[in-house]
């Protein structure tokens, strides 16, 4: 229903005159005066709530509207379309100005498409098994847990340096083995980046919960999410400028706090 509504809104908006907008994006969008944003089909919590990006609820939906506003588009000028994840990272012409669905910026992808500056740096988060969901999000409480991690990741030095658990952590070869150890109750908790942790707790590890997140730390060599654009799209400079000014003004951090800490119930670890 909301989808039909948005299409209706979009078509009405199309017929009206182009709204005032910043100089930067003028003439660079797919449809003049409109900002076409693609997201996943379906789009997932907590990135987009209820699969309804046009409501602007959920982290990525909110970021898209904020960027649009920063570039001078009205909320009604933002047109949402859908694309599959893989189809968007193929080379070629695109049906969107930007695509926002947790694209990690990688050098390989960057060769065939363009990425905006990162709008999100995935922080480390704590996933606990069913027996430890009552643990508080404090360093003190985390020390007492039996920890596990993937041996080849930066989670290991993070554990040793920041959490300093009372008992030696168990280390594994990959995420699947860590999950198996949580399910077998051999470990209480493990460190993942927040998006992975949210996915694991929702889909893979039954009864588990993400109880806290650390502030994003560039030393963790984290995943960074960028908006995806067609290779060579001139709009990239406008998007980057908008993101820079959003992060400077603290708006981006506020959006992140609202949708990825408050909404998901994953507080910052003290």
Instruction: Compute the C-alpha angle 37/256/6, nearest 5°.
Output: 30
Binding mask 217-256 toward other proteins (x if CB under 8 A, else -) reads: ----------------------------------------
Label the pairing between strands 209-213 and 78-82.
unpaired
Task: Reduce the DSSP state of residue 149 to 3 states and report it.
Answer: strand
Torsion of CA 24, 25, 28, 32, to 10 degrees: -140
* Closest-CA residue to 186 (of 132, 134, 236, 141): 132
169 touching other proteins, by CB under 8 A? yes
DSSP 132: G
Binding mask 135-164 toward other proteins (x if CB under 8 A, else -) reads: -------------x--xxx--xx-------
Nearer to other proteins, 91 or 173 (CB): 173
Binding mask 98-137 toward other proteins (x if CB under 8 A, else -) reads: ----------------------------------------
Q: Which residue of 11, 164, 185, 249 would you call a contact of other proteins, by CB under 8 A?
A: 185
CB of residue 186 to other proteins, shortest distance in Å: 6
Nearer to other proteins, 25 or 171 (CB): 171
Task: Reduce the DSSP state of residue 88 to 3 states and report it.
Answer: helix
181 touching other proteins, by CB under 8 A? yes
Contact between 65 and 259 under an 8 Å Cβ cutoff? The reply is no
Task: Reduce the DSSP state of residue 170 to 3 states and report it.
Answer: strand
Q: Which residue of 168, 206, 231, 262 would you call a contact of other proteins, by CB under 8 A?
A: 168
Q: Which residue of 186, 202, 206, 249 would you call a contact of other proteins, by CB under 8 A?
A: 186
Nearer to other proteins, 153 or 233 (CB): 153
Contact between 222 and 193 under an 8 Å Cβ cutoff? The reply is yes
Nearer to other proteins, 129 or 212 (CB): 129
Rg, Å, the chain Cα set: 20
CB of residue 152 to other proteins, shortest distance in Å: 4
Residue reference for tokens 């009205």: 74
Number of Cβ atoms within 10 Å of the Cβ of 65: 22
* Closest-CA residue to 133 (of 209, 22, 240, 228): 209
Instruction: Provide the binding-site residues for other proteins, judged by CB under 8 A.
Output: 148, 151-153, 156-157, 168-173, 177, 180-181, 183-187
């Amino acid at each position: 229903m909301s989808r039909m509504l948005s299409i209706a809104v979009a078509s009405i908006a199309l017929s009206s005159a182009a709204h005032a907008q910043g100089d930067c994006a003028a003439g660079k969008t797919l449809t003049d005066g409109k900002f076409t944003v693609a997201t996943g089909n379906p789009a997932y919590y907590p990135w987009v709530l209820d699969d309804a990006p046009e409501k602007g609820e959920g982290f990525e939906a909110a970021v898209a509207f904020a960027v649009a506003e920063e570039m001078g588009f009205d909320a009604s000028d933002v047109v949402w379309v859908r694309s599959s994840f893989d189809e968007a990272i193929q080379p070629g012409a695109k049906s969107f100005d930007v695509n926002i669905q947790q694209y990690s910026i990688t050098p390989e992808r960057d060769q065939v498409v363009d990425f905006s500056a990162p709008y999100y740096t995935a922080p480390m988060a704590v996933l606990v098994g069913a027996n430890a969901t009552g643990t508080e999000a404090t360093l003190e409480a985390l020390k007492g847990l039996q920890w596990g991690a993937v041996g080849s990741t930066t989670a290991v030095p993070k554990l040793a340096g920041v959490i300093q658990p009372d008992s030696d952590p168990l280390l594994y070869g990959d995420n699947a083995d860590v999950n198996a150890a949580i399910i077998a109750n051999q470990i209480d908790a493990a460190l993942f980046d927040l998006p992975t942790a949210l996915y694991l707790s929702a889909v893979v590890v039954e009864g588990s919960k993400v109880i806290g997140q650390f502030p994003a730390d560039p030393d963790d060599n984290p995943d960074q999410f960028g908006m995806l654009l067609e290779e060579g799209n001139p709009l990239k400079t406008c998007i980057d400028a908008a993101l820079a000014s959003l992060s400077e003004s603290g708006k981006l951090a506020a959006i992140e706090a609202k949708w990825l800490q408050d909404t998901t119930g994953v507080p910052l670890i003290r």
